[in-house]
Structure 1
């Protein structure tokens, strides 16, 4: 059994979240002229190519023990990421990340409602706290309500379902096979969107999800590659953290993505977070930390599930 290294584990997860927080802020370079569907299709091809190289080098395996289970599980986190990246073109990244990080709250509710599990008062308090925080972030003012602001929470729900499905259906599957299934499903979604989405799309970021295909020149391919490589580096660092530390403690550090994503959004795009939304993000992070520390099963709100050990 390997020796736990909590300090190195925390540093690895923080580095992974720093990387993801930075690369996700490059999406506006893509959304201005590109297509959401094109982005997922091309990036998935790049990521799968990198995974083939990694496996050919002797690391991991792409073979799934239960292919249909992996495919079924992949539907949910891939759908969550489809919404996540689509929202990045029209909402502040801090709001989008906060919505995704409601996933541990939904996992608690799913485990109670559909799996017959019981939870203590602290996790119930965390669920209420987290949803109050989510409402503070999206600010549901009837006079200025934007339904799009609720979509990141839908992404959090879908990711939670995927996390539950991972444990229920995919126990024993390798990290590389689950990662390949996830990006493969995103590539399929992208390909479907390319052929299904039709009609005139507005110029600029507002047309990101409404274009079937955008410009595919050198700069666009560069940003696709940055996203593909950045995602794999970030995920690898997070996996390393889970291998070196206790899962419940490591999961707490994933909430640093709220800080890193908002910081880079401020540096690169001048996006600021309103005080009420900032307080909501703190509540979501605290709620998630409580759930992680009080749970024997930990759900990572990152891009793919925790590594199978």
Structure 2
């Protein structure tokens, strides 16, 4: 039985429009992720300048960064209205932000101790912690291929860390700890992107991070910025809002498995930033370890995309 020509034409037109929309959303997701990577690279430079060059305490650095970020988000919150804060999943937001806050503390402390290129490469082990978490806490099946890719990624991290060398310090593990904590936060974030608006996810993060980081800063000895430090914190707060929102938009625009590889561009971006602002030149072994981390991460993402297509 032949199709009715008008209906066939409508179907073809619908398919073409759907393809165009899909491609548009994919491009938007990739663009948001890349722009977010640029913003995070600049933020890392500012954070390391505060902690290394100006010797500002790490815990207070985390507090002031997100306190100013919250202030910058107030006009956005006013525009969005109180409805942006409404959610049926408050405890999921709370747990997510607690993990994120602890990850921030570990990350800022790490930037006070190790070069940007080393810190950013090690924090890129986060996808491997997400896989482990999905298996342990979400009951997802993790096949031998993903286990092998995860092992390769961690091997790359060990090459960069070199815990067997005399130059190794325990502070070098702080970016890995932040990757673990942010991986846990990302698992919850991904579960929220399908049921919450990007504005809600972003605002809850900013609202809760400030008091949590404030308590940690008080416990470590509170410091108040002045002069150049105050100006840098204002810049850090603005970059934090922009970067977080771009990241949320990226996941809301396209599938996580698609946009995640574009997030890997933060490695060369941060290496370039560290070289331009601090003169950091990665050692030769770094590139081998980074290649293993990047390669395994991209392999996992491509494998996830293929699995999703097969299911669809």
- The TM-score normalised by the length of structure 2 is 0.81
Determine which of 216, 223, 230 is the counterpart of 1:221: 230
Distance 1:181 1:66 in 2: 11
Map of 2:247 onto structure 1: 238
Contact 1:13 1:254 in 2 (8 A): yes
Matching of residue 89 in structure 1 with residue 112 in structure 2: yes
Matching of residue 23 in structure 1 with residue 46 in structure 2: no
In structure 1, the gaps of 5 or more residues are 198-211, 298-309
- Residue 213 of structure 2 aligns to a residue whose secondary structure is helix
Distance 1:136 1:105 in 2: 16
Map of 2:60 onto structure 1: 38
Change in Cα spacing, 1:167 to 1:256, as seen in structure 2 (3 Å) is closer
Which segment is superposed worse, 162-171 or 119-128?
Answer: 162-171
Change in Cα spacing, 1:74 to 1:257, as seen in structure 2 (3 Å) is same
Change in Cα spacing, 1:15 to 1:171, as seen in structure 2 (3 Å) is closer
- Residue 84 of structure 2 aligns to a residue whose secondary structure is coil
Change in Cα spacing, 1:245 to 1:193, as seen in structure 2 (3 Å) is closer
- The TM-score normalised by the length of structure 1 is 0.82
In structure 2, the gaps of 5 or more residues are 1-17, 307-312
**Shift in Å, 1:29:** 2.9
Distance 2:195 2:253 in 1: 19
**Shift in Å, 1:295:** 2.3
**Shift in Å, 1:142:** 4.8
Map of 2:281 onto structure 1: 272
Map of 1:172 onto structure 2: 195
**Shift in Å, 1:273:** 0.8
**Shift in Å, 1:9:** 3.4
Map of 2:70 onto structure 1: 48
Map of 1:204 onto structure 2: none
Equivalent residue pairs, number:
284
Distance 1:169 1:226 in 2: 29
Matching of residue 188 in structure 1 with residue 188 in structure 2: no
Contact 2:152 2:292 in 1 (8 A): yes
- Residue 118 of structure 2 aligns to a residue whose secondary structure is helix
**Shift in Å, 1:260:** 0.5
Distance 2:243 2:139 in 1: 35
- Residue 23 of structure 2 aligns to a residue whose secondary structure is coil
Structure 1 residues 3-46: Cα deviation after superposition (integer angstroms, max 9, x where no partner): 43234432332222122112211123322242223222222222
Runs of 4+ deviating beyond 6 Å: none
Matching of residue 127 in structure 1 with residue 160 in structure 2: no
Change in Cα spacing, 1:247 to 1:287, as seen in structure 2 (3 Å) is same
More helix by share: 2
Which segment is superposed worse, 17-26 or 114-123?
Answer: 114-123
**Shift in Å, 1:66:** 2.4
Structure 1 residues 280-307: Cα deviation after superposition (integer angstroms, max 9, x where no partner): 112111211122222269xxxxxxxxxx
Distance 1:68 1:235 in 2: 20
Change in Cα spacing, 1:187 to 1:8, as seen in structure 2 (3 Å) is closer
Change in Cα spacing, 1:196 to 1:246, as seen in structure 2 (3 Å) is closer
Map of 1:98 onto structure 2: 121
Determine which of 256, 262, 266 is the counterpart of 1:253: 262
Q: Computing the radius of gyration over CA atoms, which structure comes out larger, 1 or 2?
A: 2
